[in-house]
Structure 1
């Protein structure tokens, strides 16, 4: 990866909907050279996908929680069962296996308090291996970045 690839990745992180011609102009390439570079970055796995970032509050998701989960065991079977089950819950946007006090931290969205109560009950009652749950309500997002520093 060279300097032009890094510039191209930065530009794509800012707005991947721009045409190849506009992206090429931004990094000093022709449209065809820019297209070849993008394809090579995709093929090499540097670009894993393209997504649309949605406005959660406009879609009714007005609450965001970070939930710390402790499991009954660290065995491979318990970890795998938990991860498979949590992957099926649409409100769970992220699930991270942690080193520290909690086994996992989940980032979830909810529409309101009743929605959160339903989700909390589902997490504590239906997820395998859950020993404890500690929920933290996000009051306001101070910084949210989807791109990586390049």
Structure 2
């Protein structure tokens, strides 16, 4: 079993530099990465393979500009459930996974149980989503919604520079 106290300690400056480059452009060639970090392509490939095998690199993807595909608004929803039983939490989590507009959902501490980030086309679309999807999930006691007015910073990892 992994020990959280030792996670990340096997990554040196060059590993982190490789990760930064891949975060900026996951299609960068081994030659481009090697040149940027001062390593051979074979050394880069070995490091990337090791980080992939260890799970530090979880996959490769693209970034989508949501407004350009019609999702102009982001809503932060905080939800409190009636019950905190394992069954209720699991059922709520499964229901959230089935809603494509849910971008992120986290079980949190504090006054609310869940922090949910949702992409919608506009306020009418959000109202539809509430009525047709979110409020049909059993066990919601209370929710609070806030529309994001402007995103000041958005990163997936603290390594991005």
1:24 corresponds to: 34
2-structure distance, mates of 1:38, 1:79: 36
The answer on 1:36 being equivalent to 2:46 is yes
Q: TM-score, structure 1 length as denominator?
A: 0.95
Deviations 1:110-147 (A, max 9, x none): 012221111111211x1121111110000111111123
Deviations 1:68-111 (A, max 9, x none): 01100111111111001111000000001000011001000101
The answer on 1:144 being equivalent to 2:150 is no
Structure 1 unaligned blocks of 5 or more: none
2:143 corresponds to: 133
2-structure distance, mates of 1:142, 1:29: 35
Runs of 4+ residues deviating >4 angstroms = none
SS of alignment partner, residue 80 of structure 1: helix
1-structure distance, mates of 2:127, 2:159: 37
SS of alignment partner, residue 134 of structure 1: strand
Number of residue-to-residue matches in the alignment: 149
2-structure distance, mates of 1:100, 1:5: 36
SS of alignment partner, residue 95 of structure 1: strand
1-structure distance, mates of 2:112, 2:70: 29
* RMSD between superposed Cα atoms in Å: 1.2
2:6 corresponds to: none
1:72 corresponds to: 82
**Structural mapping, 1:1-150, within 5 Å:** 1-121=11-131, 122-124=133-135, 126-149=136-159
SS of alignment partner, residue 101 of structure 1: coil
Contact 2:19 2:159 survives alignment (8 Å): no
Q: TM-score, structure 2 length as denominator?
A: 0.89
Contact 2:16 2:159 survives alignment (8 Å): no
2-structure distance, mates of 1:64, 1:7: 32
